[in-house]
Amino acid sequence: MPVNTTIQNNRSLAQLFHRMADCYRYLGNPERFRAIAYENASKILYNMTEDIGVYSGNIKALDAIGGIGESIAKKITEYLRSGKIKTFEQLKKKVPYGLLELMDITGFGPATLRVLHDQLHINNTGDLVTALETGSISGIKGLGEKKLGNMRLALKLYKQNKRMPLQEAEKKGNAILALITAIPGVQKATLAGSLRRKNETVGDIDIVVQAAQQDRKKIVSRFIRLPQVEKVLAKGSTVVSVVLKDNQIQVDIRLVHEHEFGAALLYFTGDRKYNIRLRTLAREKGYKLNEYGLFDLSAGKWLAGYTEEDIYTILQLKYLPPEKRNENNITAALNNHNK
């Protein structure tokens, strides 16, 4: 069965390890090897063609993956079981974590951030914006006018690419959804992710598309040639990721079979903690739940996946609308479906 190259476990862990690498980079030369190790692990996870979740609990199998040593393998298992990594939580207390997101922007390396934090007590992006606007950052050694000008420009571009308000995201998401639905071979398509959950802000647009295997190549080809597409990040028979010309929005499409559509929609709607709890509950009841469907755990037999409702019914759970799917509302799904 083909596997999505940008599935949630891989993407979440890749981002987390990237942030851990940033923490170690900020801490300086003594931690440079850890920074390199976690950045390498981040890249490996991002490019993996199978869900890292299949290795859950198998330290030896994880350790056998090139570039992932035993220490990082244990942290992957810890994350898959609990949704967090203790070392990362500790690291965030040692650094001005609110500033580290700037490391992805040209001109904001570890040395610059240490100066901002140590000399000006700047702890986050908001503090930096205020300092630049008031001029209190001027006169600091190593931060000349040219450097400050570049920082202002970089921050302006950064702010333009921040998360979108829900109303704007819905407008853009529905527009691209209409274009996808009109492509020959697309049987149906639905918005997923934080947009479907109606979060206040949305980072990118996720769409689940139902299509027969023989039609997918043409669908992908038509989609990436749309005039709205600026850059193709990934493409294949199960996934397409592009950046739109309009405000550099990323769109991730998952192509699935009819019998997988409901399971994929459930999985890619999230949120992550809700998915973890739901998969754990399924396992406790003797099932395996993933983006391909609900399976009998012992026999491996596929049981449901056409719709989300089918899965909730077999698990004897009350159906939760997408906007309520988060860790705080998980108990609502634990109510017996028949009550």
What pLDDT is recorded for position 5? 37
**Looking at beta carbons, which pairs linking 302-307 to residues 24 or more positions away fall under 8 Å?**
302/259, 304/262, 304/263, 305/259, 305/260, 305/261, 305/262, 305/263, 305/264, 306/258, 306/259, 306/261, 306/262, 307/261, 307/262
Domains and CATH numbers, the chain: 8-160 (1.10.150.110), 164-256 (3.30.460.10), 260-333 (3.30.210.10)
pLDDT > 50? residue 70: yes
Q: Which range among 63-77, 134-148, 168-182, 262-276 shows the weakest confidence by mean pLDDT? A: 134-148
The 10 Å CB-count burial string (b at 16+, else e) for 144-158 is eeeebeebeeebeee
pLDDT reading at 198 higher than 60: yes
Burial of 65 (0-12, 13-18, 19+ CB in 10 A): middle
pTM over the 0.75 mark? no
C-alpha distances out from residue 2 to 160, 237, 270, 292, Å:
36, 8, 21, 10
For residue 124, give Cα distances in angstroms to 9, 75, 140, 314, 327. 27, 27, 18, 46, 27
Instruction: Give the H or E element holding residue 191.
Output: strand 188-192
Closest CA to 16 of 79, 65, 94: 79
pLDDT at 327: 63
Q: What are 291-338's pLDDT values in tens digits? A: 999 999 899 899 999 999 999 999 999 899 999 887 666 665 555 444
Which tokens hold the place of 204? 């990118």
pLDDT in tens, 201-235: 888 899 999 999 999 999 999 999 999 998 887 78
User: What is the C-alpha end-to-end distance of the chain, expressed in Å?
Assistant: 37
Secondary structure of residue 296 in the 3-state scheme = strand
Which one has a higher pLDDT value, 187 or 158?
Answer: 187
The winner for highest mean pLDDT among 95-109, 150-164, 301-315, 316-330 is: 301-315
